Structure 1
């Protein structure tokens, strides 16, 4: 995607697409309007024209990434037998974070931002975790479901954070550790409180 030939071709979607492409390996905390403008090939005022500053841009990126992440997770669970859904959910979650580190950080920012519209979109991920975990059974309270989904998120996000930041330095395979993680998650989900 090169620079548009006509000035009127620069719009919000063009800027977002360029950011996703040029910042794919960047980290969330590295975002600045000047840095983005330089990497995207536009002037800072163009970004301010379409977004309400850095926070507005971050919200747009988070919204887009959160919707995409939820769609990828949902698609991965279609036609999967219930007994395999947790594994597929975990594998898809991890794969998305590895293939799209910047987008994954955008999702995490969106959840942490407490932006109501973003949280509504992120709730789809929670619903998918609940579905994959087969937690909605008559013998489980809403409180138990909430806590167990939080545990799943902690397990996944903790593993992903360690893996992406070089936290696994020993010779053992992180893929093997991930298998242990999935089996551990299944055991936790079966516990009755």
Structure 2
């Protein structure tokens, strides 16, 4: 099961730019599509920061506009005729995309111009490593390998400032335990 989820995520991440996102989502199971979206969100924000550092001052704002376009496309899909399974998948991606949009809007309003800023590093960021062929989740200075446990097509919690604070607290506890070797 884990080998299959890992293989599917690898394929999804590699194929993400091959077709429009709203079509790409239907090529993969919900968990794989959601993870692929999260990998590409972190990748795209990283690219936007690189562009800002190269002098393209509006790169983050341009990416935020792309996010809004992607969200509008998903909302349009939800208004259409979908199977219950596809509707659940799209609603879950929407939930995560809304948070991602809000994070980028926050970075813009805080005038963050580098990918090394705490406001960005303190976010959960998924990334695919081609060399090890694994998905990793980073937050601040911590890195966790994705477990590839099958979760299915389920609801996701709406991410609020309180759930964000919880994530940071868990990271802080992990760091504390790591320092003290507990």
Considering the TM-score relative to the shorter chain, is it more than 0.5? no
More helix, by proportion: 1
TM range, smaller chain: 0.3 to 0.5
TM superposition score normalised by structure 2: 0.33
